[in-house]
Each structure stands twice: as structure tokens, then as C-alpha cells.
Amino acid sequence: MSNPIEETNPEDSVGHYQFLEFDSVGVVKALNGLRKDPYLAFSLFNQLKEGGFSHDVYSYAAVVKILCVWGLDWKLDSVLLEIIRKEGDLDFGILEFLQALEEGLEKWCSHVLVRVSGALVKAYASVGMFDEAIDVLFLPRRGFTLDIRPCNFLMNQLVKHNKVDMAVAIYRELKRVGLSPNDYTYTIAIKALCAKGNLEDARNIFQEMEESGVTPSDFAYTTYIEGLCAHGQSDDGFRVLQACIRAKVPMNASVYAFVIRGFCNEKKLKEADRVFGDMENQGFPPDQHAYSALIQGFCKAGYLTRALHLHSEMTSKGIKTNCVIFSLILQGMSEMGMNAEAVTLFKEFEGMGIVLDETCYNIVLNALCQVGQVKEAAALLMEMKSKQVVPDLINYTTLIQGFCLKGELVDAWNLFEEMKENGHNPDIASYNVLVGGFSRRGYTQDALSLLNYMEAHGIKPNNVTHNMIIEGLCIAGKAEDAEEFLCNLEEKCLENYSAMINGLCLVGKTKKAFKIFVRLYRQGVLITKGSSLKLLHNLLVEGDREKVFQLLKKMLHLDPVPPYRRVISILCREKEMDIAQWIFKVMVMKGLTPDVIIYTLMINGYCKSNCLKEAAALLDDMKNKGIKPNVITYTCLIGGSWVGMGSKESKIDPIGLWAEMRDMGIQPDVICYTVLINNHCKARNIEDAARLLKEMIEEGLEPDVVTYTALLSGYCKMGYENKAKVLFEEMLDKDIFPDDHAYSVLSCYHILKARMVQFLHQDS
């Protein structure tokens, strides 16, 4: 069949055609007749379709040609998306469609095909049909090349959908098919490579840009910096940022926020704070994103005083706070157990008119429940509703858990029913909370009935559900019911037995837990490492050394990879050094070489038990075996050596250790200096302590709040009022703010109370 796309005389309106009956040839002629009025042509095309006419490849080609010539891209996109979505129902494919466009279009062929091919690539990519988009992108073409922009769109969509390998592969193929990347193409390639973690390849893109004569945009540098910071290389990210500033590459505050967030994620708060300070020096006043990143970092590290100070500083500059920043502060308080303080702060912020979301409310709901104020939590849920903040499943589950913890199970069940009535289908977490609540109160039958209720509503109980019942019944003093439930389980797992032992350990029934452990051992079953260690801890606390040895022997026998490190850690913490030494020797007898961590745990245990001769012997042993001590090892020894100072048993010279550590090239860190400063203060060697503080600063180490608190405490005990005041001011000048422990220490001394009150007043 010949191509019917021909020129005919145009008509003035669609109305001329609406009462005629068309075949394919007639439709094409009519469309071409309206080629000078693309809107009428497009309207006719749609009216015919709505009237039941089935367009074929040639009528689609005709309307697409018209839309291309007139540059009506959004209408073109709609037609192409229609072809894509109906491809299985149409009597032609994309290849036939492109061929129909190509035939008889010598004058417009290249222009139309370039535009349509590019639009097809974008259309396929926009609906996630990436393989088809790539097929169109790399179709063989006769003498014309696609525009790079559709390719950029495709690559960007691939990166957004986490198909970075495909995006990189397309980039590598571009030049082969005659496409020249532009600055945006290179930037997307950098973004893709950074997403993969191929940071070296991403850096090489800049070299490729230079070789191609393309100047990197600020977006390219920003993308690379963000990639470095997202993959734990914030130091490099900051260096690139500084180089960009020196080279006068336009930057903005958001780039600094990337670097600050990166350092915070790497727990390098001092570096993050330094970048924050550098922003303003470079003419970029910190914005909401920069403050948010730094506040989050300090909250996660437990420096809430500093986080609150930053928030106060931010709002004083007219930068609006939001519920995200507020949630960070509340969450930080909650994680530190400061639930009452979180509730107080919430009420304060609520009075400021800040719009709060479900996340903020949930943190406070949980905080109220943790401090036993469940009625207040219920009132807060009502307040949410009155403010048009719709409680979600998590909000309801949090309050249900609060009622369960208080034993108010009727209220918990009523809220559970309300949650369902409001359209929130309970998930496994919601059911587990209720099951745990009933079990902990000893309502065995109610807990079992709830299991049946769950299954009737399409939620299958899992191991966590069963474990909640087992542990809960043990806590309620119904260990027999818990055992019966465990026996009746059709499919038992290791975690179920471990839950039984956990529950018994929680209520002090260690002997019964040990009997179950032994029974399982005889069956060749070993409970989870976590439960074994809980049982070990209980036996140690109860002083049952005979059973401790039995437990450890059985663990070593059945466990192919015994948790030596954790066992030794528990034993050292409980100062059971003879048993820890036995485990240590067992390791060696099995041909295992204890690492620096195990040696350090043992040394620390001996130091805390004032067995300094044994600690010194272990240090010699590890060095003889070629295991290099680290700064933590020496810190433990230096700290312990002061305990035994003057004792005949003391075999450790702290000054000698300090020199030995330096000779081995081990640089003392802030903690090591702090331990030494603290010990000098306790020994009333206050001048030596002050000298060490000066020395660590000269070494490039920044003292933290613990370091300053140690020396401040020493000054106060010695009655050096002026020195204490000067040191406190120095600490504040460095933006090192007292934490809650520092406040409790310093508030004992009258000489600093006035200054602390003044500082708190400024910060509020």
C-alpha cells in the first residue's frame, strides 16, 4: 500500500468534515488539508477517535507530522503516549510508525524524525519503559543525529529510578552513535557514578569534560560534592568546595549543607561546626538546611544543649523553624531518656504557632507514655484531631502501647477499635503491641483469642507475636502458661526458646532458664547468642559460678563461632577476671589469636579490678605476639595506673606508658588526654593537668566538654576561682557548651552558678 500522506486543499473548520464518512485515506487527506491550522487538525483527529474511528499508522503519522512542524510539543507528547499505551491494541508497532513518517517526507524527514524520536525516548522514559526508550535512542538512522536533550532526560529518569548502571552504559555509548554530551549530560553521569559509589570514575568525568571543551557547571561540582559527602568522604567534599570558592565557581548555601550533613553522618561534629562557621566567612549566611543538618548531628550525638542553642540562634536571625527541625530535637531528647523535657519543649513550641505533623506528635505521644502520662497522651491525640492533623496508624499504635504498659487494656482495646473505625487497618505491629499487653498482665486466654482474631482478619502471627506472648506471660508470673504455649506451637523456632529463657531471666528465674538451656543442649540445640549472654549475665549477678562454667563450656562446645569478644566483655564488666582469663586461654588453645580489641578488654578489666601486674603482663604478651596496642589500650592502662599509684603491686608507670605510646607512633586522642587530665586533677597535680590541656590544643586536638569539665572540676576542688572562671569563658568562646553532666558537676560549686544562670538565660 502506498503512503497516502499527500498535500490537499485546506478547509477552514472541522465542521466541514464532521458529517462525512472517512476511510484511512480520507482522514489523512483531511488532516493534511488542515496542516496550516494544527489546532483544528488535532481537534479533528480527536473527534474522529471519539466518534469510533480507528486511526491507523498513516493517520497517526499525519497528525504527528503536523504537530512536529508547528512545535506543539505537549500535544505531540500526548499522541505518542497514546501510541505507547495502546501499542498492543494497535495494528502497527513503533518501527512501522517511524517508517510511515519517513516515507515521502524528503523535505521534512530529518526534522520530523529527530523530533519524534526524541519525543518517543522521553515518552517511554516518563512511563518507566526504559528498555523501549533505549531501543529508540539507538535505532539505526540514515544521515541524522538525535538531539542530546532526550538522552539527558532518559539518563536522569534512570538515575531517579535507581537504574544507575543503565545510565552509565548509555553515557559510554553516546559518542559511538554520534551524540555529543553537553554539560548537563556530564553532570548526570557524575550523579549516576556517585550513586554507584564510583567516586574516582565520577572525578574522571571532569577530565573528559575538559578534553571535550565543555566547562563544568556549578551543578556538576555540586553533584560531585554531594556524592563525596554521601559516601563518607566529606573531607574531600569540603576540599572540592573550597577549591570551587577560590576558582570563583558560583556556589550556594545548599552545598555547604551537604558537607555539614556529611560530616555529621561521619560523626565528625567539629568539622561540621567548622564548615558551618566557614559559610558566613565566605559570604553564605547559614540557611534553614544548614542549621537543620547541624542540629540533627548534635541531637544524634547527644549534645542537646548545643542543638537548642543553634535553634535559638537560627530563629533569632529570622530563619523560620519547622516541624522537621523540631522533630529532630524532640527525637534527640527522647533517645536520651529526657521524655519529660521533650513534653515541656513540645508545649513551648506549640505555643509559638509552629505547624506540627504526625511525626512530632508521635514523638511526644511516646514520651508521655514513657513517663506514664497516658491520659495526657490520649488528650494529645484528641488535640491532633481538633487541629485537623489526622492520626495515622503509628500514632494510634504508640498510644495503644502506652495503655498496655499502664495495664489499661480496656482503653487499649477501645482505641484499637476506634483506629479501625477511622479506616486504619491494624498491621502486625499493632497486634503485637496488644498481644504483649494482654500477656504481660497474665490474661492468657485473651492473648490466645487475639491470635485467632488476627488470623480471622488476614494477619498471620509471626515469631515476634509468639515471643511477645512467651516473654509477657513470664513477666506476669505465668511461666507455666508460657511453657504450655510454647509446647503447643506447631512450628517452633530457636527464637521461641530464646524468648522463654529471656522471659525467665527478666523475672529472676535463672535456675529454670538454665534447666531449659541444658535440656535444649542435650538435644543438640543452642539458643541464640543474645539469650545465652543474658543467661550468663544473670548467673554472674547471682554468683553461681558453677553454672557459669557449665554454660560457657556448653556454648563453646555447640557454637561453631562462639562470641568470645562479647563473653569476655561481660566477664570483665562483672570483674570475673579468672573466668575471662580461662576463656582467653581457650581461644589460644584452639589456635585463635586474640585481637587488639580482646586484649584491650582484658587489660581494661584487670585495671578496673586493680590487677595491674596482670594488665602489664598482657601488654607485654600482645607486643611479643606482634599485636600492636592502640590508643584505647594505652588509655585503659594510663587510666588504671593512677588507681594503683603507690601500691606495691603497681607495675605500670603512666609517664613511661605515655612516652612508649609516643615512641610507637600512636598519637593520643581527645579521650586519652582527657583521662590523663582527669587523673592529674584527682591527684591534685593541677598544673600538669593545665599543661596537658595546652599541649593537646597545640597538637591540633580540640578539647570537648568532658575535657573542660574535668579541669574545671579540678580547679573548683582546689579553690582556684579565677582560673575556673577563665576556663569556663574559654570553653563558651569556642562554642563548646556544657552538657547535662557538666551542669550537674559545675552546679555543685558556687563560683560558677551565676555565670551558668546568665548563660542559660541567654540561650532560652
**Residue 751 maps to which CATH number?**
1.25.40.10
Residue 695 maps to a domain:
yes
Please identify which residue in the block is written with the cell numbers 491532633. Answer: 384
At 297, list the grid cell. Answer: 548531628
At 90, list the grid cell. Answer: 494497535
pLDDT tens digit string along 370-380?
888 999 999 99
Same domain, 21 and 129: yes
Cα distances (angstroms) measured from residue 547 to each of 175, 362, 476: 73, 44, 26
C-alpha 329: how far from chain center: 16
Cα separation of 134 and 151, whole Å? 9
Same domain, 130 and 5: yes
Same domain, 630 and 686: no
At 597, list the grid cell. Answer: 580489641
DSSP state of 491: S
pLDDT tens digit string along 62-115?
898 888 888 888 999 999 999 898 877 888 888 888 888 877 665 555 678 888
Same domain, 643 and 595: yes
Domain enclosing residue 600, as ranges: 577-650
> Which residues 6+ apart lie within 8 Å of 80 measured at CB?
64, 116, 119, 120, 123
* Domain end among 146, 178, 205: 146
688 by Cβ neighbours in 10 Å (0-12 / 13-18 / 19+) ranks as middle
Closest CA relative to residue 195, chosen from 237, 236, 154, 167: 167
Residues of the chain with confidence (pLDDT) below 70: 1-22, 104-110, 141-144, 643-651, 739-764
Residue 433 maps to a domain:
no
Per the CB < 8 A criterion, the answer to whether 243 and 224 are in contact is: no
Cα distances (angstroms) measured from residue 674 to each of 66, 303, 595, 635, 638: 78, 18, 25, 9, 11
Res 761: pLDDT: 46
Cα separation of 102 and 611, whole Å? 91
Cα separation of 519 and 503, whole Å? 17
Same domain, 673 and 638: no
Residue 632 maps to a domain:
yes
Res 263: pLDDT: 97
Run of H or E including 417: helix 409-421
* Domain end among 124, 146, 168: 146
Torsion angle in degrees (nearest 10) through CA of 757, 759, 763, 764: 10
Residue 1 maps to a domain:
yes
Same domain, 617 and 756: no
Give the chain's domain count. Answer: 3
Same domain, 682 and 595: no
Res 499: pLDDT: 96
At 678, list the grid cell. Answer: 582527669
Same domain, 673 and 593: no
Cα separation of 264 and 275, whole Å? 11
Tell me the CB-side half-sphere exposure of residue 108, using CA atoms within 13 A: 18
Same domain, 751 and 645: no
CATH assignment of the domain containing 136: 1.25.40
Same domain, 98 and 17: yes
At 259, list the grid cell. Answer: 558537607
Residue 738 maps to a domain:
yes
Residue 730 maps to a domain:
yes
Q: Which long-range contacts (CB under 8 A, 24 or more apart) does 100-105 make?
A: 100/3, 100/5, 100/57, 100/58, 100/60, 100/61, 101/61, 101/64, 101/65, 103/3, 103/5, 104/3, 104/5, 104/6, 105/5, 105/65
Query: What SS3 class is residue 35?
Result: coil
Same domain, 62 and 92: yes
703 by Cβ neighbours in 10 Å (0-12 / 13-18 / 19+) ranks as buried
Res 675: pLDDT: 92
Tell me the CB-side half-sphere exposure of residue 722, using CA atoms within 13 A: 0
Same domain, 103 and 2: yes
Per the CB < 8 A criterion, the answer to whether 384 and 398 are in contact is: no
Residue 162 maps to a domain:
no
Res 560: pLDDT: 85
Cα separation of 211 and 233, whole Å? 26
Cα separation of 574 and 537, whole Å? 8
Per the CB < 8 A criterion, the answer to whether 356 and 326 are in contact is: yes
Closest CA relative to residue 323, chosen from 301, 349, 348: 349
274 by Cβ neighbours in 10 Å (0-12 / 13-18 / 19+) ranks as middle
Instruction: List % helix, strand, coil for the chain (3-state, nearest 5).
Output: 70, 0, 30
* Domain end among 146, 171, 187: 146
Res 512: pLDDT: 95
Torsion angle in degrees (nearest 10) through CA of 523, 527, 531, 533: 80
pLDDT tens digit string along 627-649?
999 999 999 999 888 765 555 55
pLDDT tens digit string along 5-29?
334 344 444 455 554 556 888 888 8
Per the CB < 8 A criterion, the answer to whether 739 and 710 are in contact is: no
Cα separation of 350 and 656, whole Å? 58
Q: Give one DSSP letter per residue of 150-170, joined into a string.
A: HHHHHHHHHHHTT-HHHHHHH
Cα separation of 649 and 646, whole Å? 9
> Which residues 6+ apart lie within 8 Å of 436 measured at CB?
404, 468, 469, 471, 472
